[in-house]
Structure 1
Amino acid sequence: MTTTRTTTDDDERPVALSEPVDDPFTTLPDLTPLRDAARAGDWQATQTFFTTLGSTGNPVENSAEKMSFASAQLAGLDGVETYLERAAAEHPADPLPRTLLAERYIRIGWAIRSRYRAEHVSRDQFDQFHDWLRRAERLLIDVCAEQPDNPAAWTARLLTARGLELGQTEARRRYDRLSAHHPHHFRAQSQLLQQVCPKWSGSWEAAHSFAQECVAAAPGGSHAGAVVAEAHIEHWAGLDGVEQRTYMRSVSVRDELRSAARASVLHPDHAPGWSWITADSAFALAFSIGGHVEDAAAHFVSLGNRVNEYQWLYLPGWQAAFVKYRKSALATLVTNTSRGSRR
């Protein structure tokens, strides 16, 4: 079995490579208390988890980033709406249970809609989708009025704006309200990027311009650079035939990806927080489908067996593709080491 050295929270031991693991509660052990609280339907433990996040001292992933990230992970757990609805009813003055409940409603709605393009979604699916999003939006309007700096609530409202088709101007207004309090908020940047892509009535010019705007404004070592990779992945996925096969292989795309990676996860000041797996996963995929295997290697080394499946779902049988691309990328490290030893 092949092994490589990956970064872990507590040591530098080699990790045996196997099938990719995409469960954030496994790949990010700091989230375990949140999962346990949710499984137990324990609101007090859930509240404690969020209220004690605090600042990590990392300027690119503070408590706002963690709150937004953790809210999204909690929303992905089946059935949590039951105890969150109870908590919202029992603590009507507390915005937190309403924020988390809205995130869960959004997740339920998007699951009904599915990842398919609009022409493949039925009228009944759209009706249910919009109903869940309107429930979430009603909660979030009040939360944002009470807490104008709530990062999770404003980020969630980017999803409701997109799903309810409120338009580019309204989505950007919501993003600007968030970024006024929390600039360079990675999850919000990823969500607005989706909005400005052609599939949501945007354009590729707007998508790439926004991605470059994010990385140019952010401090070195932030995760904003991964928005550039996400934009190119979206563009690639929106193409067909020869255009799709050649897009990621272009020198201009490769160079943009390299520059963005150097400004983010490969920057000397990068301090991995909870979003690093998402960022490295995006770069690993973008470089791999472009055939830039040596560039992909550093990201696969960091990831080891961990991955965020979100972008990789564009590939049929994405787990097998991940293993194949990882093997090819890591083989370049062995080859380069062998060449160096002969000099």
Structure 2
Amino acid sequence: MSGTGDGHRPDGTPGRGGGRKPTFDPFDNVPELVPLRTAARAGDWPAVRAHLTRLESADQLVTAASALAEVPGVETFLEKAAADLPADPLPRTLLAERYIQIGWQVRGRATAEHVSREQFDRFHDWLRRAELLLIEVCAEQPAYAPAWTARLLTALGLGLGQAEARRRYDRLRAHHPHPYAAQSRLLQQLCPKWGGSWEAAHAFARECAVAAPDGAVNAALVAQAHLEQWLDLEDLEGRAYLRGVPVRDDLRNAAQVSVLHPAHRPGWDSVGAHSAFAMAFSLGGHFADAAPHFAFLGDRASDHPWRYLSDAGTAFRKFRKSALSAAA
């Protein structure tokens, strides 16, 4: 997901990490998407479209659209494709995702009080451009998951509020009952930093975990919610929060029904899900619990939530070394 003005925290652990540096590149973590990046860098819209239309699910298309939005300059050929194919929802949705990405880059990841008025104005301008495209797509294609998922970020950035964000999520869920990427985006909206509450955030995460099939990644939202609360606390208080037995047990239960469940089949969201558990367990000092998640990850990691640490690569390596040592 694009930056959400969440800031970052030092990891607070001493010493140096071991092993190779992790990659946070979504294309490295999902090799199937590398041809998409190649086509995008070449400005080859027919190849981009062909790659995306071959995807097997709405979830994969959402992931691919988000990754494509991070490729600099794609807006040039996407604007032409959107103009040439006015009835096709795909180029407009991809263009909107790119506009959203540009907007968040302008805003930066600082908390609101550290964002200038000019930054906010430019940020909102990019989001409004995206929203106009997405309104059209959703009116024409009410079941189009990528567009509704993108509109959760425009709702967040434009300050449209909890009720509107929920409305958009419910419209998506009517057609796609367990939309993990959309759930992760809505979870941000439900946190206090965006006008929600911890009660709402944790309740939503657990609701998604319970409703999802065994082995689905959705229960990783439980780890995301705990990391959000950790981020909101002072350093020592945050560590104590994640060290607590109730949080540890909550994380263990969520991991067991999702990425550690026998029914789990690794997919494009698995790196992000394992990353959330690995980071939450590690910050709480539960390194044996973190070990299976690092074993899966190897040298891969997702930008979210690792970006919450000031030196994510070093922290990942240190935590990974401690976790794998604890499991030895």
- Compute the TM-score of the two structures, normalised by the length of structure 1: 0.89
Identify which of 307, 317, 320 aligns with 1:323: 317
Aligned partner letter, 1:28: V
The answer for unaligned runs of 5 or more in structure 1 is 1-15, 55-62, 335-343
**Deviation of residue 17 (structure 1)?**
4.3
Mapped partners of 2:298, 2:119: distance in 1? 38
Residue 291 of structure 1: SS of its match in structure 2?
A: coil
Q: Equivalents in 1 of 2:108, 2:117: separation in Å?
A: 13
Deviation above 2 Å: which 4+ runs of structure 1?
none
Instruction: Using the TM superposition, give the Cα deviation of residue 241 of structure 1 relative to its aligned residue in structure 2, in angstroms.
Output: 4.1
Aligned to 1:231: 225
1:37 and 1:248 map into 2 onto residues whose CA distance is 43
1:282-336 Cα shifts (integer Å, max 9, x gaps): 00000000000000000000000000022111112111110000000000122xx
Q: Which amino acid aligns with 2:144?
A: N
Are residue 277 (structure 1) and residue 277 (structure 2) matched? Answer: no
Contact 2:190 2:200 in 1 (8 A): yes
Give the alignment partner of residue 32 of structure 2, picking from 30, 33, 45: 30
Q: Distance in 2 between matches of 1:333 and 1:219?
A: 28
The alignment partner of 1:224 has SS state of: helix
Alignment RMSD (CA, Å): 1.0
Deviation at 1:50, TM superposition (A): 1.2
Alpha-carbon distance in 2 for matches of 1:53, 1:17 = 34
Query: Which runs of structure 2 are paired with 1:1-343 in the superposition (5 Å)?
Result: 17-54=19-56, 63-334=57-328
> Take 1:241 and 1:318, find their aligned partners in 2: how far apart are those partners?
16
Contact persistence 2:19–2:321 (CA under 8 A): no
User: Which deviates more from structure 2 when the two are superposed, residues 172-181 or residues 20-29?
Assistant: 20-29
* Contact residue 17 and residue 304 of structure 1 kept, 8 A: no
**Deviation digits for residues 137-186 of structure 1, max 9, x if unmatched?**
00000000111111110000000001000010000000000011011111
Per-residue CA deviations over 1:226-260 (Å, capped at 9, x if unaligned) read: 10000000000001143212110000000000000
In 2: Cα distance, 1:331 partner to 1:242 partner: 24
CA radius of gyration, larger in: 1
The one-letter code sitting in structure 2 at the alignment partner of 1:159 is L
Distance in 1 (CA, whole Å) between partners of 2:65 and 2:107 is 20
Aligned equivalents of 1:24, 1:156: Cα separation in 2 = 17
Does structure 2 conserve the Cα–Cα contact (< 8 Å) formed by 1:99 and 1:143? yes
Q: Name the CA distance, whole Å, in 2 between partners of 1:73 and 1:211.
A: 24
Letter in 2 for 1:158: L
Mark the runs of 5 or more structure 2 residues left unpaired by the alignment. Answer: 1-17
Identity %: 62
